[in-house]
Amino acid sequence: METRKEQKERRRQEIIYAALELFVSKGYAATKVTDIAKRVNMSTGLLFHYFESKEKLYEELVRMGLEGTAYPAGQACEHAIDFFIQFTTQLFVYMQQQPVMAKMFVLMAEAQRNEGTPAHIREIAMQVNTIEQFVPIVEWGQREGTIRDGDPKVISNAFWCSIQGIAERYATNQEIDLPQAEWLVDIVRKK
């Protein structure tokens, strides 16, 4: 049997998950708390027993996204380009195996980009700054000759935005398969 505390925690998770799905598919502003409540089969009022407000619920999701973000570290790779391959492959595997992950990914990107995001939540989301993270790796690859020439920031940006564009679609519609990681890595690879 499930203790009351456990049950409460489970219910909380259900809400969080439902909110994640809705925020990603319709956006935070367009999602009504009644939508969330409906999806987990509870009265709207009860949702406020679990979360102080719609905004707090959003904040919690973004915090979870921040916690769960793995920062890229390339030590294990011989070449910079291998790092990109590993990273992308890994990301795509996760996205396929754990749809939640893909959704969280998109939620964070949304929270960062969207100017409608409440300021304090946006700040939290902004702590994940992947483009910057990739810059030194691009520079390393350029010294090596495995990554194409050009402004490292622009290259890093091109790669990352592409990943995001793909994740964004995949998160809400798995009809079309994810591409091969190599295809995307070719954005940065030197020929």
Partner DNA sequence: CGGTTCATCGAAAAAATATTCAATGAACTA
Partner DNA sequence: TAGTTCATTGAATATTTTTTCGATGAACCG
Q: Which does 113 bind (CB under 5 to 8 A by kind): DNA, a copy of itself, none?
A: a copy of itself
Interface with a copy of itself includes 122 (CB under 8 A)?
A: no
33 or 163, CB closer to DNA? 33
The string of DSSP letters for 82-141 reads: HHHHHHHHHHHHHHHH-HHHHHHHHHHHHHHH-TTS-HHHHHHHHT--HHHHHHHHHHHH
Considering the rule CB under 8 A, would residue 93 count as an interface residue with a copy of itself? no
Closest of 63, 46, 20 to residue 171, by C-alpha:
20
Pick the closer one to a copy of itself by CB: 50 or 100. Answer: 100
Residues that bind DNA (CB under 7 A): 1, 3-4, 7-8, 11, 31-34, 41-46, 48-49, 52-55
Query: How far apart, in whole angstroms, are the C-alpha atoms of residue 3 and residue 134?
Result: 45
Q: Which residue has the tokens 């890994």?
A: 90
Binding letters toward a copy of itself, positions 136-165, x by CB under 8 A? ------------x-xx-xxx-xx--xxxxx
In the complex, what is the shortest distance from the CB of residue 1 to a copy of itself, in angstroms, rounded to a whole number? 38
Q: CA dihedral in degrees (81, 84, 86, 88; nearest 10)?
A: -150
- The answer to whether the beta carbons of residues 155 and 188 sit under 8 Å apart is yes
Query: Which listed option, a copy of itself, DNA, none, makes contact with residue 150 (CB within 5 to 8 Å by class)?
Result: a copy of itself
State the minimum distance, in angstroms, from the CB of residue 23 to DNA. Answer: 11
**What are the residues binding a copy of itself (CB under 8 A)?**
25-31, 113-116, 131, 148, 150-151, 153-155, 157-158, 161-166, 168-169, 172, 176-177, 179-180, 183-184, 186-189, 191
